[in-house]
Each structure stands twice: as structure tokens, then as C-alpha cells.
Amino acid sequence: MSEKRATREALGETLVELANEGVDVVAVDADLSGSTTTAKLAKAYPDRFFNVGIAEQNMIGTAAGLAVEGKVPFTGSFAVFATGRAYDQVRNTVCYSNLGVKLAPTHAGITVGPDGGSHQMLEDIALMRVLPGMRVLVPADYVAAKAAIRLAAVTPGPFYIRLGRAGVPVIYGDDYAFELGRARVLREGVHVTLAACGVMVEQALAAAEALALEGVNAEVLDVSTIKPFPAEQIAASARKTGAVVACEEHSVIGGLGSAVAEALGELAPVPLARVGVRDVFGTSGEPAELMAHFGLTADDIANAARELLKRKK
């Protein structure tokens, strides 16, 4: 995992590839095409790109109209604006009519960095997973992000693909295929399950390495598909290990940790710890500083696992 690439880099590149392959993709952006990388599609295919200006509600409405006309629209913008500012349009125009609009905003989570709490979206997974018909994907690296975008482009209905600004290690090879409703087992284990998504997958793998030095064999799951959620798969891992740590760069309310808690409550009640942002807004700082400040590092995950092991006993 030496190479680092931001998941947002996958958006523009993959849209160009899909257009080259004959998929009728278009991009609708709210004046952030350089940051979201949809500018790459604009350069390669100017007639497939629509900049609506700083008007996120219009962005969603325009994308919905393009979907009705048979196009495959992807929307840009930052996560905080694409979900928060345009929530009514996402709910009532896109999801209520089950339109094939693919929301793929960038700059999610605290790893946005110095832009601060106003731009660090920590509630988007919760907002999107509650919407009927919406599929919610949180890729762990650049390769997974490309695969998620490809999957969304050929699958009917609405999607939310959470992309980030900061570079993250490339975990997967080019043969990776995204599967809806399936978590990927990155490391087999028997003592505790580390269920992570997005940038936290890297941290969970590092935590598992640290725990292994202490004789603790942790299972690591990349839960990249938050909805549909792999509840049975999470429960099966929980039954095997007897404890689960959910790890997310998101509020502990309503995101991956909540989805894991729901699954365990119904299918496999075991001790659970949630590593995430504790019901606060973000703040300004460099990504690594913020990960440490909010308790989202590999050390924090390993400590949560150690506490769970005590509860198991």
C-alpha cells in the first residue's frame, strides 16, 4: 500500500473511460469541476458536461431531467453541499421517482482538512442511507472508487458514492470488482472484527497488524456498500469473533456504526465499539492531525478492540 491517490481522482477519469466505451454518461457540476475532477469529462466531451453554477438544487434537478431523457448523469460538488443543500431535490425528485441520478460528491469527511467544519461533511451517509431506493457506496481507495462509479453507471436507480480529497493508499489491484451488498474480507481473524469503510480501511488494517503483535487475530472487513448493507455477512463474522469495532470517518450517529449495530441487534448480539466522530462538527487542520484529534487512527481502533476483548472475557 505504498502509492497514494485520492478517491475523487477516479470520478473524471472513469467518466471519460465510460464515454469512450459508449456509455451515455454526462456530468452536472455546481462550479467545482476542477476539484471534483469532472472537468476531465468537460475537456474530452464538452457536450456531455453541464455547469449550473453555485446552485446545487438546480444541479440535482438538471441531472434528474437528463436521467428522464435516458442519460446517465453523475453530479459533482462537495459532499456537504450535494447532500445538505440539495436534500429536498434528492429526496423528492430523484429517489421518489427512482431516477438514475448518480451522486458522486467529493471532499467528504474530516480529511477535507483546512477548509474546516463548515465543509467537513460528517452526516452524509446518514442522510443518504435513510432514503428509499438510494444505494450508498464508500470506496476505500482509488481502484474501488473507479469500480463503484462503473457499477453505478450500468445499474438502474439512484446512487450515492462518497469520495474524498486526501490521498489514500491503493489497496486493491486492477482486477477488483465492486459488489453491491457484500463486504470484502481483507484479513481473516478469530478474536475481533474490524468493520471499516472509506479511509478507515487503511487504519483498520494497520490496527490489525499492531494487534497481531500481541497475539490478537483481528478480522478486517471493507464494508464499502453501506446500502444495501451486508447484514448477514457482518453477523457471521461477529458470531465467529464475538466482538466488532465499526470504523468510519463520519458521525457515529446514522452511519456505518449504526448499520452494524442494527445488524448485530437483530442477528448476532455481541459487544460493539464505534470508532467515529462523536456528535461534533469538524475543525480546521491537516488530515493526519484531524484523524488523531477525532480519534480515528489505527491506535484508536486497536485500543477500542482491546477494550472489547476485556468485555468478551
Instruction: Return the pLDDT at 71.
Output: 97
3-class SS at 78? strand
For the record, the C-alpha cell of 195 comes out as 468493520
CB 232 within 8 A of CB 183: no
Give start and end residues of each alpha helix (H) in 39-86. Answer: 39-44, 56-68, 79
Residues of the chain with CATH 3.40.50.920: 184-312
d(CA 66, CA 298): 43
- Pick from 271, 288, 291, 244: which is nearest to 122 by CA? 291
Give me the average pLDDT of each 10-residue run along the chain (313 residues).
Answer: 86 98 97 94 97 96 97 96 96 98 96 91 98 98 97 98 95 93 97 98 98 98 98 98 98 98 97 97 94 97 97 79
Q: Which residues of 180-214 are buried (b: 16+ CB within 10 A; e: fewer)?
A: beebbebbebebbbbbbbbbbbbbbbbbbebbeee
Q: Report the predicted TM-score, pTM, of the whole model to 2 decimal places.
A: 0.96
d(CA 258, CA 260): 5
Instruction: Return the pLDDT at 2.
Output: 61
Residues of the chain with CATH 3.40.50.970: 4-169
d(CA 17, CA 9): 13
Query: Is CATH 2.60.120.380 correct for 4-169?
Result: no
Torsion sign over Cα 15, 136, 130, 199: negative
For the record, the C-alpha cell of 110 comes out as 474530516
Which member of 9, 17, 56, 248 is catalytic? 56
d(CA 28, CA 8): 15
Query: Is CATH 3.40.50.920 correct for 184-312?
Result: yes
Q: Annotated catalytic, 307?
A: no
